[in-house]
Every structure is written in structure tokens, then in C-alpha cells.
Amino acid sequence: MKLSNFYWVLPKFFLTFLLAISIPFSIIADNNDKPNVIIFFVDDLGWVDTGVTGSDLYNTPNIDRLAKEGMLFTDAYSSSTICSPTRASLMTGMAPERTRVTDWIDGHWVNQGEAWRAERPLQPPVWTAKLELHHHTIADLLSENGYRTAHIGKWHLTPRSNDPEIVEPYYPHNRGFEVNISGNQWGAPGSYFWDYRRSGLDGLESRVANFPPEKETKGLYLTNMKTNHVVRLIQEWQNEPFFINFSYYQVHTPIQGRPDMVHYYQQILDSGEDFLHTDPEYAAMVEAVDRSVGRVHAKLEELGLDDNTLIIFTSDNGGLDRGDGTPTNNYPLREGKGTAYEGGIRVPMIVRWPGVIPEGTVSEEPVITHDFFPTILEITGAEASSEHFVNLDGVSLMPILENPSVTLDREALYWHYPHYHTQGATPYTAVRAGDWKAIHFYEDDRIELYNLVEDISEVNDLSNEMPEKAEEMRSMIEARRDAVDAQIPITNPLYQDKFEQK
């Protein structure tokens, strides 16, 4: 698709699938027929990084098929603009401001030196850089309710350490997952190519620990290795209910596609046409995810399991958009991963469950990662004690899955990021309520106000034009912050010292 055609593609898609008639179905989740659940949780995949959501370059027929056979959410959000907080929210059903996992573990405030920090007027709070052990995860609950459970891929919820005694209690196999392949403290592999190492990064640290013996991995592209194991587990567990969190390292850096696919995309780009997406390595990474999704789907079909399997496909934050079109471009959304704007938090999301979710439907309801926890509990019939529900921020999407014209009884969604990120974020809290979005920036107490329906690119800040609306949204942010006792940044003493020395 050429850039000039972009605005035509989404409306055409919506119209096509909105024509599908939605029919409510009753849910049957008795003990003999519990549905399987597979989450395809892609890392850093942007809102327009699939064919069905608008890419003009990336081939994603298998992901597109999920949308044709399920429900596409146009206004789906990640719980945060970066990795670890969203992952903690997926596991707990709580928002980052409640788990206090508000930055990516190994966050920049930790990594950057004093000179970098001295440039920032605010100091982030002392946040919780791990998923604390007192939290029960969705895998805990499903395993207690008769499910086989596997985490395959990126985890990124352990404390910042290389000491096994410190990190291993936080690994997936100690957080409710029976099987853990390559989930550990790292947020990215050393390399996508076997043996997944690279020099210059803690020596030759592979950053993909806990993976199978060499005979099962040698020579394999990382995504293919993990897909092999997901397919194997489905084969093994075909007669039992299972939950697989397929947590791709793709399409996070390092940007490394398989050479054959990179060559294919390079030839297309060399044709001279004007494309929205222009990085052949990244395109090859997206296609690797798509082929993986296709292989898993084919296995479900082969075993006759696909009708009784709920599939969720989504991303943990917006696409990495450096502003020069690489490695991806989130247009028409503003900016990308690590920022307060839609490019940082709006993500692709598709849910497929034949017989329950009407085919080829679209929901425009704003939804967020922490909604999956209560949704999965309802769908699987898993029982949980009341303590698991006291602090839930997510709500079950089941009413929408049965009928896409339904709207949720929820006033607003919030994003709390009291940190700095090198991609551009300064400390902020944001809210979306209906068509409106407001961002409160802590450095100067400024509010920006956007109407997302009229201005999805967030170019017209209406805060001066509509001060009453801006204040109403500010009040919502303050009330939310108070309700969960959210941590906020403080004045940075390093910055003050620097100022006084001048």
C-alpha cells in the first residue's frame, strides 16, 4: 500500500467486517471441555505493523487470517509504553501504577550515568523493578484449575541481577508456568541467530537462558526454535487444557531478519516505489512472527483443537519508531515506543475463538493489556479467591467478544510513567476517556489535550482552546493517582546542584 492510500485501507477493512452480523453465544466451559488459551505476545510490534492494520510492506497472511476469523480491536492499548510494566500487567490484571512495575527493568534511570541524570529536572520514584513474589499470576490460577501451562520466550520480570539465587525465584517456572523456555531477566536476545550470543554485551552472554539442549537448537533462528517447542507442547498436551504464553523476543532489537527474507524485502524496496515501511531486516522479523503464528495455527487444526482454542494476538507496547522510518513507522500515530503518544501505546490486537467470537468483526472499544487476566479467567472458568479480584484494574472482554457492538462500563484508561526514556518520554500520566486523551507532564505541570477521533495523530493540542475539558481530564488523572497511591517523580537533586553551579 502506498502512503497516499493509507486512509482508504482501514475504513475499507472496517466496513467489510462491520457488515458481519454479531450473534451472542453462550459460553460453555465445563470441566470436560475447557478451552485452550494461546497468547501470541509480540515484543514492540507497532499498531500498523501487520497487513490487516495497514502495513504496505510486511507480509502477514496468518495474522490477517486471525482477524478474518475473529475480532480485530482498533483501539487496543498496552498497559505501558515499554516492556516490563505491560508484562507485569498481563500476568496480574493490575495496572503498572498498582504493581509499581512502572519502567522496564534495567531502566534508563538505572543504566544512565550521573551526567545523563543531571540533565533531568525530575528524579523518578523508587519503583519496584521486579514482579513481586506475593502476586499470583494468571498461570498460577490456571495451573491450579487443571491447565498445563507454558511460557515460551521473553519474560523480563525478575530483579536486575545475574545471580541465579536472586533471579530464579522470579523466573516463569516459579510463577505458575510448568514449562519455561528462555524466559529470564533479559529483555532482548544477544542475537536471533544460533547460539543467540553476541560479543560486547556482557562478554558472550546469550541472554536467552534456560533453552533446550543444543541438538534442539543448533542452527535455528530463535523464533523458529521457540515455535518448534510450542508445536511440540500442543502435540503433547492435546488431550488436556493448556495455556501457552508465546512471548516473542521478536520484533525487539537487535534488528536481524533471516537473510532469505531480508533479500526478498530488499528487492521490493529496490523497485523504487514509495513505502510507509522501509526496513527490510525489520520486515523479515515481522514475517518470521507471522510464519510462526501460521505454524501454531496449523498444528491446532491438524489436531482438531482450533475450534476450542482462544487465540489472543497483541504487542507489549507501540512500535519502535525513531522518526526516520526505522526500524518501523507508526504513521498515522504520533511517535512510538517510549513516548506518551499513541504510537507508544496503541497496539494491534486480534482475538479468535470460533463459535463464540463472530467472524471478521471489529471492536472500537478502548481495551488494555490488563483486561486479559479477568477475560481468561471467565473464559476458562478458572476459580480464584476474592483476593485476586480486589485490586484488579482489568475488566473481562467477554461481553465484547460475544457482541462487538457492546461497550464496557468503564470511564477511562490510564497510563502512568514517572520516568525518562531515551525515545522521548519525560515523566507523565495520561488518560483516555471516550474520544478524549490528556497527558499530564510532570516537568512543567503541563496538560496536553487531544480528540483522538478527529485527530488520531495528536497534532492539535486543544488544552488552551478547551481549558475546562483539560481541567476535567486533569482531575481524572489526579483522582486515579490518589486512588492507587501512584508513585510520582520528585525534584532531582543532581539537576538542582548543576543549576546552582552555573
∠ Cα 3 4 10 (to 5°): 80
Whose Cβ is closer to Ca ion: residue 44's or residue 448's?
A: 44
Whose Cβ is closer to Ca ion: residue 102's or residue 396's?
A: 102
Whose Cβ is closer to Ca ion: residue 320's or residue 392's?
A: 320
Peptide bond into 260 cis (omega under 30): no
- Separation in Å, CA 153 to CA 96, 179, 347: 21, 11, 19
C-alpha closest to that of 52 among 13, 99, 108? 13
Whose Cβ is closer to Ca ion: residue 92's or residue 317's?
A: 317
What would the 3-class secondary structure string for 121-190 be?
CEECCCCCCCCCCCCCCHHHHHHHCCCEEEEEECCCCCCCCCCHHHHHHHCHHHCCCCEEECCCCCCCCC
CB of residue 248 vs Ca ion: minimum separation in angstroms?
Answer: 10
C-alpha closest to that of 372 among 363, 364, 380? 380
**Phi, psi (5° rounding) for residue 79?**
-65, -20
CB of residue 482 vs Ca ion: minimum separation in angstroms?
Answer: 29
- Separation in Å, CA 347 to CA 50, 56, 196, 286: 10, 17, 27, 14
C-alpha closest to that of 316 among 341, 346, 339? 346
Whose Cβ is closer to Ca ion: residue 83's or residue 349's?
A: 83
Q: Residue 455 class from Cβ within 10 Å (0-12 exposed, 13-18 middle, 19+ buried)?
A: middle
Whose Cβ is closer to Ca ion: residue 339's or residue 363's?
A: 339
Whose Cβ is closer to Ca ion: residue 223's or residue 363's?
A: 223
Whose Cβ is closer to Ca ion: residue 57's or residue 83's?
A: 83
CB of residue 370 vs Ca ion: minimum separation in angstroms?
Answer: 16
CA atoms within 13 A on the CB side of 47: 26
CB of residue 363 vs Ca ion: minimum separation in angstroms?
Answer: 23
Q: Rounded to an integer, what is the distance from CA 195 to the centroid of its chain?
A: 26
∠ Cα 236 239 242 (to 5°): 75
CB of residue 196 vs Ca ion: minimum separation in angstroms?
Answer: 18
CB of residue 294 vs Ca ion: minimum separation in angstroms?
Answer: 23
3-state SS, residue 41: strand
Whose Cβ is closer to Ca ion: residue 43's or residue 75's?
A: 43
CB of residue 423 vs Ca ion: minimum separation in angstroms?
Answer: 11
CB of residue 202 vs Ca ion: minimum separation in angstroms?
Answer: 20
3-state SS, residue 411: coil
Closest-CB residue for Ca ion? 83
Whose Cβ is closer to Ca ion: residue 37's or residue 83's?
A: 83
Whose Cβ is closer to Ca ion: residue 36's or residue 245's?
A: 245
Rounded to whole angstroms, the Cα distance separating 502 from 498 reads 7
- Separation in Å, CA 384 to CA 302, 381, 387: 33, 9, 8
CB of residue 284 vs Ca ion: minimum separation in angstroms?
Answer: 19
CB of residue 81 vs Ca ion: minimum separation in angstroms?
Answer: 9
Q: Rounded to an integer, what is the distance from CA 466 to the centroid of its chain?
A: 32
CB of residue 182 vs Ca ion: minimum separation in angstroms?
Answer: 16
Whose Cβ is closer to Ca ion: residue 22's or residue 339's?
A: 339
Query: What is the gyration radius of the CA atoms in the chain, in angstroms?
Result: 22
CB of residue 104 vs Ca ion: minimum separation in angstroms?
Answer: 8
C-alpha closest to that of 125 among 104, 103, 106? 103
CB of residue 278 vs Ca ion: minimum separation in angstroms?
Answer: 21
Provide the 10 A C-beta neighbour count for residue 210.
15
Across-strand partners of 73? 363
Cβ-based neighbours of 119, under 8 Å, separated by 6 or more = 495, 498
Rounded to whole angstroms, the Cα distance separating 490 from 97 reads 16
Whose Cβ is closer to Ca ion: residue 147's or residue 341's?
A: 341
Q: List interacting residues with Ca ion (CB under 5 A).
A: 43-44, 83, 316-317
